Amino acid sequence: MNLNDLRKKIDGIDARIIGLIGERIRLAEEIGRGKKEENKLIEDTARELQVLEKVRDIAHQQNISQYDIEKIYQQIITACKHVQGVIEVAFQGAAGAYSEEAAYRFFGSEIHTKPCESFADVFNLVERDEVQFGVVPIENSLEGSINQVYDLLLDSALRVCGEIEHRISHCLIAMPESGLDTIKRVFSHPQALAQCRSFLRRLNYEIIPTDDTAGSVRMIREKGVAENAAIAGARAAEIYGMKVLTQEIEDNPHNFTRFFILSREDSPPAADDKTSIVFSVKDRPGVLYETLCEFASRNISLTKLESRPTRQKPWEYNFYLDFEGHRQEKAASEALKSLEERVIFLKVLGSYPKARQSG
């Protein structure tokens, strides 16, 4: 068979594949209508995990890359969710991560969440309009700011359109047959491990850092070793069919993480807003005091001020500042205009309603 004949066969196969994808999307649309009529949630993470597991098994039987097939099917599932009219929200980590919990608390349960390997991936998906929103942690009440996210905000055209403060409660999670006396190793993100330091010290477990909390739960499920455990939220245990050995193991119960909601536009003025900006100033005495006076003279309250290296010259800094009010309000608009005349660089990250605390 010559090259042209082989290409014609591929064209025919592509036409059949697209036809089947179209049929799947139409069926998904019917399922979406049925769920709405029965007042059921559109989002079904457990079902999505089952589908991905099945296609991985089929790929393995066909000697095809399971990784490639899973990526293809994630896009197909996304296309199916689009026709059901679901809001899509990207977050860093595996299903069951605290960022995903924050997304559900902010937007409600009828959303489609998209796990990402990195914070940069979250930004990229929103920038490319593949999802409407992204959720990223910006600071923790115990561990401080998430510097990588601040750096990404500096370089991105995205806006902060919302925030939420989410209570972080850690659980020790293991295989269903495991008990506290069988555990020898604990996996989790370094920050989660640090927040549970006293609990872990008492039990003398081997501590193994990983990239994220919920991903650690998924990993120990896949390994299937009764001596392994992970630290994550209770929802991760539910998603992956694992056992919560003990709850609220964090050293400090006042453990909250503040999350930013990312979009291509910020929010319109509301009753109780905040604005986040980043700026840099000339290196001379009193210049930072002068910039802050632009807000004090207009009776604008500042809620945060933090410096970060510019990454361009040693010992030069950008200042990240949050203040009360929307950037379109008269006082805020005047302050920003005057500030722009005093500084080297100014960027408004976004205006958004103040966080509603969740527990």
- The CA-atom distances, in angstroms, between 28 and each of 22, 24, 32, 85, 257 are 10, 6, 6, 11, 35
Amino acid at 55: V
Q: How far apart are CA 259 and CA 252, in angstroms?
A: 19
CB 344 within 8 A of CB 278: no
Q: How many residues does the chain have?
A: 359
CB 251 within 8 A of CB 199: yes
In three-state secondary structure terms, 65 is coil
The set of catalytic residues is 257, 259
- Residue 192's DSSP bridge partners are none
Q: How far apart are CA 113 and CA 332, in angstroms?
A: 34
The pair phi, psi for residue 309, each rounded to 5°, is -55, 145
